[in-house]
């Protein structure tokens, strides 16, 4: 009995050590799990113009970004109209790209042929005005600067 108790105690200690070990997760496994949970269609912080940098709420950041673009593009229809004798309402879509270095550029402008006829300089004026805008911060995802794409509608209404 004296020999059996120490051997039994030793066996118990050797087999019970596995219950005290913690499972180790490799950094690759952790990274893969984290990547699966990220919503890549949304950013944590929108690109910022100088007067938008103090905003904390994401919706306010988005609104400020859109408003700055719309303000820059306002008045183009009046400056670029040629021989306008029609009344119509239409939407022009401007697709923008913001690089991870805060470079803002136009990737595409969708407008129908009627608008192109009445506003022949519209596209070049949009590009000129967008190129003159200066962002101070790009969009961020988990603290990392990321490139983003935006589509902004511009409603053209004439009387």
- What contacts 141, CB < 8 A, 6 or more positions away? 38, 40, 43, 44
Q: Which residues contact 85 (CB under 8 A, 6 or more apart)?
A: none
| Predicted pLDDT of residue 155 | 80
- Lowest-pLDDT range of 15-24, 55-64, 72-81: 15-24
Q: Does residue 11 lie within any of the structural domains?
A: no
Q: Within a domain: residue 3? A: no
The domain containing residue 141 runs over which residues?
Answer: 44-157
Q: What is the pTM of this model?
A: 0.69
Examine residue 55 and state whether it is found in any structural domain, yes or no.
yes
Residue 132 lies in a domain: yes
Helix (H) or strand (E) run with residue 76 in it: helix 76-80
Residue 27, domain member (yes or no):
no
Is residue 28 a part of any domain in this protein?
no
Helices 58-73 and 122-132 pack at an angle, to 10 degrees, of 130
State pLDDT tens for residues 90-139. 888 999 999 999 999 999 999 888 778 777 888 898 899 999 999 999 99
Within 81-152, where are the H helices? 113-118, 122-132
Domains identified in the chain, total number: 1
The predicted pLDDT at position 122 comes to 84
pLDDT given at position 3: 63
Query: Has residue 125 been placed in a domain?
Result: yes
Do the domain assignments include residue 39? no
């Amino acid at each position: 009995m004296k020999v059996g108790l120490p051997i039994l105690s030793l066996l118990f200690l050797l087999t019970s050590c596995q219950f005290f070990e913690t499972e180790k997760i490799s950094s690759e496994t952790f990274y893969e799990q984290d990547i699966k949970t990220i919503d890549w269609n949304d950013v944590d912080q929108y690109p910022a113009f100088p007067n938008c940098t103090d905003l904390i709420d994401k919706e306010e950041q988005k609104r400020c970004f859109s408003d700055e673009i719309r303000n820059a593009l306002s008045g183009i229809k009046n400056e670029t109209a040629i021989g306008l004798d029609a009344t119509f309402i239409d939407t022009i879509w401007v697709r923008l790209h913001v690089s991870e270095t805060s470079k803002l550029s136009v990737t595409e402008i969708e407008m129908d042929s009627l608008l192109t006829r009445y506003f022949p300089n519209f596209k070049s004026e949009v590009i000129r005005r967008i190129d003159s805008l200066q962002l101070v911060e790009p969009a961020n995802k988990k603290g990392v600067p990321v490139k983003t794409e935006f589509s902004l509608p511009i409603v053209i209404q004439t009387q």
